[in-house]
Amino acid sequence: MAIYNSAREYYLSKIGSYDNLTLRTKEIEQPKANEVLVKVHAVSLNYRDLLVATGRYLASGPTNLVPCSDMAGEVMSVGEDVKDWKVGDRVCANFAIGHLHGDPTAATIATGLGGQVHGVLTEYRTFPANSLVSIPRSLSYEEASTLPCAALTAYNALHGPVPMKAGDYVLVLGTGGVSIFGLQLAVAAGAVVIATSSSDEKLKIASKLGAKHVINYKTQPNWEQEVMKITNGAGVDHVIEVGGQGTLPKSIQSTRPGGQIHIIGFVSQDTTDAGSLVVGCIKGAITLRGIQIGSRAQFVDMNRLIAAHPIVTRPYIDRVFPFEKAKEAYSYLES
């Protein structure tokens, strides 16, 4: 298996726009004793990557940051002390390479790829051996590259301290990566999914993936009332909350007493005053839980679930770009 001496990678010459993505050639680093050299076959973009490039991310990284957190690749060589990996293994790296198990800490958060440390928009990269997980056999490299951020975030939300159960109602806001994975994982667990979007075409996709109920929040702006109708006035058990301030009040009104709202993003353009969120949470005994992706141990558990339900959990990929078209991929994501 040929290994080249040099490789191409992108870096952000300046934070402020993805137009500052610059392609350069680098020398391929050889793995240290406990590292693995991986050939990157596919990289997946997330909303976070736009935040990083435009300077809106809540953490800073090194100068000339190599962006992106999500990859799937092939082991090319291993360090002398590595026992768990061999040449040819198909792998993903965990989003935070230092988060192996348990709750996140300041130290593990500081190891987030493509934000706090250099990321994966490169042809070759070394990783700590213990940060890697095996790719489910049913998935291609492109499909597997979507797992580290979006899929693991959804898994951590729905299989966290209060895991969803068969028959639970799960509300997913929008049809972005985390929401779609939340939908698929909920379907695999036997939950009833309610999905929202402003696009009827995207709601058709959600229905095809297993959502039992769909709501267009443009035509039904009081979507929380529709959620309550669907659940016969009870409210949902779990919410994948990606909108932030603009949607959180309605999410609280949609949730049953004792329910769980998993706060993941802030993509809503609605600047509605969040108002008396504290009162709503107290009245409904609702838990708001911020999700910081997940650990490598959770990644392993999630991949077992994917392997057990390969059809309903197959990642939905909208479009694939060649490596040379990275800026175009960012632009498409932004649109």
Instruction: Read off the pLDDT of residues 168-220 as tens digits, 9 standing for 90 and up.
Output: 999 999 999 999 999 999 999 999 999 999 999 999 999 999 999 999 999 99
- Write the pLDDT tens digit of every residue in 82-103: 999 999 999 999 999 999 999 9
Share of the chain above pLDDT 90, in %: 88
DSSP secondary-structure letter at 63? T
State mean pLDDT over 145-149: 98
DSSP secondary-structure letter at 19? G
Q: In this predicted structure, what is the pLDDT of residue 169?
A: 98
Structure-token pair, residue 60? 């800073």
Length of the chain in residues, anyone? 335
- Residue 3 in this model has a pLDDT that exceeds 70: no
Q: Is 26 helix (H, G, I), strand (E, B) or coil?
A: strand
CB-count exposure of residue 311 (10 Å: 0-12, 13-18, 19+): exposed
pTM over 0.75: yes
N-terminal to C-terminal alpha carbon distance within the chain: 39
How would you classify the pairing of strands 124-128 and 35-44?
antiparallel
Segment among 17-26, 63-72, 82-91, 259-268 with least mean pLDDT: 259-268
- Write the pLDDT tens digit of every residue in 72-82: 999 999 999 99
Residue 161 to residues 82, 260, 287, Cα–Cα distance (Å): 33, 10, 11
Between 60 and 224, whose confidence is greater?
224
- Write the pLDDT tens digit of every residue in 299-316: 999 999 999 999 999 999
Band the pLDDT of 278: cuts 50, 70, 90: low
Q: In this predicted structure, what is the pLDDT of residue 268?
A: 56
Q: In this predicted structure, what is the pLDDT of residue 244?
A: 84
State mean pLDDT over 35-41: 98
Q: In this predicted structure, what is the pLDDT of residue 282?
A: 76
State mean pLDDT over 239-256: 92
Band the pLDDT of 30: cuts 50, 70, 90: very high
Between 271 and 172, whose confidence is greater?
172
Q: In this predicted structure, what is the pLDDT of residue 271?
A: 56
Query: What's the chain's average pLDDT?
Result: 94
- Whose CA is closest to 192, among 206, 223, 171? 171
CB within 8 Å of 8: residues ≥ 6 apart: 23, 24, 25, 26, 122, 123, 323
The answer to whether 288 and 261 are in contact (CB under 8 A) is: yes
